[in-house]
């Protein structure tokens, strides 16, 4: 379109850093590794799949390592309602674009695109009520052929294995409408109530699934929610549900939380349910969460965790097959129920010995103050067990040394030696008021309820899916219960806040 180019040159020719070129992009040849950024708007939808993949390979070559491709396209179907006698547009789904663009590599096979972000253009949603205008940001990265169990990218692994469209809907049948995480709406209500949300706050849900929790937050508390998930299948279903939910406060995007960039202090809350298990470098991710939060902002996470190693062979195989990276709940943050008293007194609400007795919190603290050479290190809300023991105890996998005769001047060294003075994931990056709760008991209760409910609707489930799918779910839930009984699989709830004042 030479006339468009001429007008562009007329308006912007005074800028010294622009070269104007009219060409058929499918035949355009440019030097490899010569550009930092490629921008495209309403182009790919006029190309067939073969043409598109050939062009994407060229763009991949033009970009420098770490460079970005941004593009916008019309998806699903025609945006307007005017009849057209000729319409060459190919209306792909976002999942189609994701698959096509991430499957392309450079000719050497060493580099490819990975998705940083993909979402509906908000201007079209607000003005036109049209969520089918979708934009993408992709990054050129080295390929790891053995890094995703045979799949080109981690996203493709998710979308083709655990989170295929059928697999997602199968999970939803168990967790409840709109949910694909433990406990569905019941646990969502419980955990979100901890955040004290108020209208107008900005929330990001990392690993949003199909959006049930986001719709609940927006409708119940009047907060604005950005739901982000790396699985294009998850987000596509969430966007479909958003049409019927009619909740303009909720947006969804396909995004990689380890690459996504937001302005500092963009959100009041970072919320994530059973997602961090996929992330290898959790500390780096928590640093991102910390930067995204406003001062005083809150972080709430639930996640699959593990027990102390060595694990059983069956659990090792499970973790390997899923590609999970698991830690104990205690490695996320200091256990909220860990108590240490110097002298011959140790407190823990998890101890079960004949030497324990339950005290009211205030009475406990008062009594502790009457004991010589005793200091309360951690004090838990209302109740705790008062343990009068002289020998060592094991609390949450940490060995509490024989502190009976420990001099106060040596207490730090003794606790450091036994793993009691340390920095946890969340504290390392600056979070305060950290709570790390082992919720495995609740997890087991929820699993049993979900298992019983699934068995009650066996025929309905089989009619919706298949007997093979039914058996897969039943066997899977029983295996989770078995892994919990072995002490290998655990479930954690983690809460933290960003300080109101950041100390340099």
Task: Please give the average per-residue pLDDT across 176-180, as a whole number.
Answer: 96
Has residue 354 got a pLDDT over 80? no
| Pick from 114-128, 152-166, 485-499: least confident | 152-166
> Helix (H, G, I), strand (E, B), or coil: what is residue 32?
coil
Residues in a beta bridge with 435? 495
> Helix (H, G, I), strand (E, B), or coil: what is residue 426?
helix
Residues in a beta bridge with 114? 139
**CB under 8 Å to 183, separation ≥6 — which residues?**
175, 190, 442, 446
pTM of the model: 0.75
494 burial type by CB count under 10 A (0-12 exposed, 13-18 middle, 19+ buried): buried
Has residue 265 got a pLDDT over 90? yes
pLDDT band at 316 (very low <50, low <70, confident <90, very high): very high
Pick from 382, 421, 383: which is nearest to 400 by CA? 421
Written out in words, the top-level CATH class of the domain with range 160-333+426-496 is alpha beta
- d(CA 390, CA 474) in angstroms, rounded, equals 46
**CB under 8 Å to 369, separation ≥6 — which residues?**
none
Strand order across the 111-120 sheet: 35-41, 63-74, 133-142, 111-120, 250-255, 224-229, 202-206, 267-273, 293-306, 489-497, 432-438
DSSP assignment of 390-415: SS-EEETTEEE---TT--GGGHHHHH
Percent pLDDT > 70 in the chain is 77
Has residue 69 got a pLDDT over 80? yes
- d(CA 245, CA 13) in angstroms, rounded, equals 47
Strand order across the 345-347 sheet: 345-347, 383-388, 356-360
Measured between its terminal Cα atoms, the distance across the chain in Å is 55
At CB < 8 A and 24+ separation, what contacts does 107-112 make? Answer: 107/57, 107/61, 109/143, 109/145, 110/142, 110/143, 111/60, 111/65, 111/140, 111/141, 111/142, 111/143, 112/60, 112/140, 112/141, 112/143, 112/152, 112/153
User: For 251, phi and psi rounded to 5 degrees?
Assistant: -125, 155
pLDDT at residue 143 in the model: 85
pLDDT at residue 334 in the model: 62
Q: Does domain 26-143 have CATH number 3.40.50.150?
A: yes
pLDDT at residue 53 in the model: 95
Has residue 342 got a pLDDT over 90? no
Mapping DSSP onto H, E and C, the string for 104-129 reads CECCCCCEEEEEEEEEECHHHHHHHC
pLDDT band at 412 (very low <50, low <70, confident <90, very high): very low
> Helix (H, G, I), strand (E, B), or coil: what is residue 196?
coil
Instruction: State whether the Cα torsion 154-159-163-167 is positive or negative.
Output: negative
Q: Where are the beta strands (DSSP E) in 361-504?
A: 383-388, 393-395, 398-400, 432-438, 489-497
Domain with CATH 3.40.50.150 in the chain: 26-143, 160-333+426-496
**H-helix or E-strand containing 273?**
strand 267-273
The CA R_g of the chain, rounded to the nearest whole Å, is 27
| Pick from 33-47, 342-356, 446-460: least confident | 342-356
- The CA–CA distances, whole Å, from 193 to 79, 187, 188, 210, 220 equal 39, 10, 8, 20, 11
Q: What is the pLDDT of residues 104-119, one digit of tens each?
A: 999 888 899 999 999 9
- d(CA 382, CA 362) in angstroms, rounded, equals 8
pLDDT at residue 232 in the model: 87
- The CA–CA distances, whole Å, from 302 to 144, 200, 266, 373, 410 equal 29, 24, 22, 38, 36
pLDDT at residue 502 in the model: 65
pLDDT at residue 243 in the model: 82
pLDDT band at 271 (very low <50, low <70, confident <90, very high): very high
DSSP assignment of 163-183: T-HHHHHHHHHHH-TT--STT
Q: What is the pLDDT of residues 34-57, one digit of tens each?
A: 999 999 999 999 999 999 999 999
> Helix (H, G, I), strand (E, B), or coil: what is residue 345?
strand
Pick from 201, 418, 205, 417: which is nearest to 301 by CA? 205
Q: What is the pLDDT of residues 202-222, one digit of tens each?
A: 999 999 999 999 999 999 999
Task: Please give the average per-residue pLDDT across 223-250, as a whole number.
Answer: 91
Percent pLDDT > 90 in the chain is 62
């Amino acid at each position: 379109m030479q006339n468009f180019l001429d007008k562009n040159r007329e308006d912007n020719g005074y800028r010294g850093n622009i070269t104007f070129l009219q060409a058929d992009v499918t035949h355009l040849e440019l030097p490899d590794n010569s550009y930092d950024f490629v921008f495209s708007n309403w182009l790919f939808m006029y190309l067939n799949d073969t043409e598109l993949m050939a062009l994407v390979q060229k763009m991949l070559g033009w970009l420098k390592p770490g460079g970005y491709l941004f593009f916008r396209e019309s998806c699903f179907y025609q945006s307007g309602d005017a009849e057209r006698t000729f319409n060459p547009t190919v209306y792909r789904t976002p999942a189609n674009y994701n698959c096509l663009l991430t499957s392309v590599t450079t000719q050497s096979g060493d580099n490819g695109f990975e998705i940083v972000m993909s979402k509906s253009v908000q201007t079209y949603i607000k003005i036109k009520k049209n969520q089918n205008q979708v934009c993408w940001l992709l990054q050129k990265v080295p390929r790891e052929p053995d890094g995703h169990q045979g799949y080109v990218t981690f996203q493709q692994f998710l979308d083709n294995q655990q989170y295929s469209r059928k697999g997602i809907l199968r999970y939803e049948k168990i967790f409840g409408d709109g949910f694909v995480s433990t406990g569905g709406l019941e646990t969502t209500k419980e955990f979100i109530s901890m955040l004290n949300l108020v209208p107008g706050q900005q929330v990001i849900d990392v690993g949003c699934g199909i959006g049930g929790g986001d719709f609940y937050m927006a409708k119940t508390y009047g907060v604005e929610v950005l739901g982000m998930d790396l699985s294009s299948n998850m987000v596509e279903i969430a966007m479909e549900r958003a049409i019927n939910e009619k909740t303009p406060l909720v947006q969804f995007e396909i995004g990689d939380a380890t690459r996504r960039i937001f302005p500092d202090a963009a959100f009041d809350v970072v919320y994530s349910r059973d997602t961090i298990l996929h992330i290898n470098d959790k500390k780096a991710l928590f640093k991102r969460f910390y930067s995204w939060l406003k001062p005083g902002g809150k972080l709430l996470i639930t996640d699959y965790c593990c027990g102390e190693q060595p694990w059983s062979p069956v659990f090792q195989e499970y973790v390997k097959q899923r590609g999970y990276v698991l830690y104990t709940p205690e490695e996320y943050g200091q256990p909220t129920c860990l108590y240490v008293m110097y002298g011959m007194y140790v407190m823990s609400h998890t101890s079960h010995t004949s030497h324990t007795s339950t005290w009211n919190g205030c009475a406990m603290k008062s009594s502790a103050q009457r004991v010589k050479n005793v200091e309360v290190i951690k004090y838990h809300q209302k109740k705790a067990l008062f343990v009068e023991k002289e020998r060592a105890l094991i609390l949450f996998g940490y060995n509490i040394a024989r502190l009976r005769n420990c001099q106060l001047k040596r207490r730090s060294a003794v606790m450091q030696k036994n793993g009691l003075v340390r920095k946890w994931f969340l504290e390392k990056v600056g979070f305060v008021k950290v709570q790390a709760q082992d919720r495995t008991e609740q997890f087991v209760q929820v699993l049993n309820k979900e298992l019983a409910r699934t068995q009650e609707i066996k025929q309905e489930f089989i009619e919706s899916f298949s007997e093979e799918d039914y058996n897969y779910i039943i066997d899977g839930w029983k295996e989770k219960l078995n892994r919990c009984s072995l002490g290998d699989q655990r479930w954690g709830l983690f809460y933290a806040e960003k300080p109101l004042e950041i100390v340099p």
